[in-house]
Structure 1
Amino acid sequence: MEDIISRNKIPVLVGGSTSLTIPLLQQTLKHHYIILGIMLVPHPSSYQQLIETRGDAMVKQGLLAELRELKALEKTMLQGKRDFNRGVWKAIGYPEFSPYLDYDGASDIKREVLYHQGVTMMRASTLQYGFNQLEWLRHTLTPFLHQQKVATISLNVTDKQSWAAEVEGPALSMANQFFHGTHSVTPVPGKVSNPRVVFLFGGSSSGNDPSHVKAAKDLSLELHRNNITLIYGGGTTGVMGAAARTLVELSSLSSVHGIVPAALAKFEENETGQSHMSKFGSRTVVRDMHTRKRLMIEAVLNGGPGSGFVALSGGYGTMEELLEVATWYQLGIHNCNVCVLNVDGFYDGLLDWVSKVSEKGFIGAKDRTIIQVASSAEGLVRCLEGKTQHSEQRIIEWI
């Protein structure tokens, strides 16, 4: 820091490091400059698509050759005492491809498997790293700027084609207004809202009654008719697989996005004997369940009006996800509708339990209607479009 400050020049930070950002801002604030912060936040869908292609691009640009050089350097410097948590050895790509680089067997099939595992894990690590940076922006940098009373604007980045219209133009316009006007910012009117997004829960099994799979297909038809994007757990079997495949057939690959942890992706491939196919839409592989759930929920929150959460018939996992988003609604973390498609009374037991919980005084009368019920696919879409039950301001303020 002392060396940077002593140069008496404007510092420009390039790259992913965030450790110097706030110290440099603190030095800048001492000079009482007029400061405008512009944050560029990637839209979840476009960011995930970028990560999907980045790994292959890095390999084509010579990543493996660089990693082999690192491996040779590791042998010389570390003498077999490998540590992926320090220095250059923790660079994204090296830990993930180490099993591939270490393999000296004769099996080409084994080598190919290790290579694809490396690509998958590198995508997951890169995605996790990016979301750690987004968390830093939200929970560290933004509160710091607000505390210092720095005017800040945030712009969503979707793709290269829309950069000039959605990012560059609005940023320059607001910056010009800020520095040459009143030192305040008026948001530039945006274009149409983002498309609607549904986070769909449901079973990886089909159940004993074909009506559950039929309901999933009927729902996909309604999602297609209403131009609603489906976000789900990335499975290819059961109720969820039927919903995803049907919507892709009716709409396009971009209408369905599955997000799955690497461990579950590998398990399903072993169970079914096949890898994820494009007929189930696009897919993002992440490191763990928490990242998976966060991405899916953020996709709904960034969706247009009428986005929400939908549960089809399912087991423990479906119940866990349904009750979690209902709890988050109760706490005021989101205000999207939570709806279930009650196929042949499948959810009657759960709804009876909610009524009993309310009668016994464990939830308020208003909260017993957080989970809304539809008996048909058409009714479920109307459920999503309806006004949320709790329109008043919540007491808890979430950052």
Structure 2
Amino acid sequence: MPNSPRSVCVYCGSSAGRNPIYSRDARELGELFHKLGWQLVYGGGTTGLMGEIAKATMGPRYDGRVHGIIPSALVSKERNSKDDDNENDTSSIKSTELEDQIKMDVDNHKGSTPISWKFGKTTVVSDMHSRKRLMADESDAFVAMPGGYGTFEEIMECITWSQLGIHNKPVILFNIDGFYDSLLEFISHSIEAGFISHSNGNIVQVATTAEEVIQKIQEYKVPEGRFNLKWDDEGKPTL
């Protein structure tokens, strides 16, 4: 497996999900990023699968490359230490408390998250559109792990922009334990129904292990038959 450093945007849930395999595979992918020296670009949270992959990519010595990008509205404003200059920095929280945050159940998640240098560098932006654009600008490839509405919306936008010729970067579904089987069935149905071409169906590549995610990124071939549109520089979404 050649060590060619990449910057990979991973979309995933801010909750851990009910199947422990989601967290396990998130950690495995993060550990591979750390080993390869690849940068993780992600949504900036420290809970759920976001926290799992960010922590694993940072590694035990906190020497990994992680860039979290998060809107200010999603950052928890609770101070964790009176001595902290950064009111959002949870670096003083004990490791056990960080683990509890990562494992947060979806029914107890209130939408916001603390941030910490232990999960990498964090850039706080003003809104969701700024977040998505910066994440795209920072990345050489896009991966979707299990998640909810936000994850679906983000990866579908990457797929659409590839079809429109806005970018030619790899798009990978990390189909952990069949999580994306229904979405893949829907894509196949759309192809058969005549709404997606067979060639554009190849925009989306599927991996079932962390190792296969790396392989799919490295071996990605841009599909033929995408739209060859001319986008003006001004106002063009940059990916």
Same fold (TM over 0.5): yes
Does the alignment pair 1:213 with 2:23? Answer: yes
Does the alignment pair 1:317 with 2:156? Answer: no
- Cα deviation for residue 374 of structure 1 reads 0.5
List aligned pairs for 1:177-192, cutoff 5 A.
none
Deviations 1:48-103 (A, max 9, x none): xxxxxxxxxxxxxxxxxxxxxxxxxxxxxxxxxxxxxxxxxxxxxxxxxxxxxxxx
Does the alignment pair 1:370 with 2:180? Answer: no
Question: How many pairs are equivalent?
Answer: 200
Does the alignment pair 1:291 with 2:124? Answer: no
Match of 1:90 in 2: none
Does the alignment pair 1:225 with 2:225? Answer: no
Does the alignment pair 1:390 with 2:229? Answer: no
Q: Secondary structure at the match of 2:186?
A: helix
Structure 2 gaps of 5+ residues are: 79-87, 89-108, 234-239
- Cα deviation for residue 318 of structure 1 reads 0.6
Q: Secondary structure at the match of 2:75?
A: helix
Is residue 254–residue 282 contact of structure 1 (8 Å, CA) maintained in 2?
no
The higher radius of gyration belongs to 1
- Cα deviation for residue 391 of structure 1 reads 5.4
Change (3 A) 1:246 1:254: closer
What is the one-letter code of the residue matched to 2:135?
Answer: M
What is the one-letter code of the residue matched to 2:216?
Answer: C
- Give the aligned CA root-mean-square deviation in angstroms: 2.4
Return the alpha-carbon distance in structure 1 between the equivalents of residues 208 and 117 of structure 2.
30
Is residue 253–residue 280 contact of structure 1 (8 Å, CA) maintained in 2?
no
Q: Which has the higher contact order (CA 8 A, sep 6+)?
A: 2
**How high is the TM-score relative to the length of structure 1?**
0.47
Change (3 A) 1:251 1:349: farther
- Cα deviation for residue 365 of structure 1 reads 0.7
Q: Secondary structure at the match of 1:259?
A: strand
Return the alpha-carbon distance in structure 1 between the equivalents of residues 154 and 111 of structure 2.
24
Match of 1:259 in 2: 69
Does the alignment pair 1:196 with 2:196? Answer: no
Return the alpha-carbon distance in structure 2 between the equivalents of residues 250 and 331 of structure 1.
41
Q: Which runs of 4+ in 1 moved over 6 A?
A: 267-270
Percent identity over the alignment is 42
**How high is the TM-score relative to the length of structure 2?**
0.77
Deviations 1:215-235 (A, max 9, x none): 100101111222210001100
Match of 2:179 in 1: 346
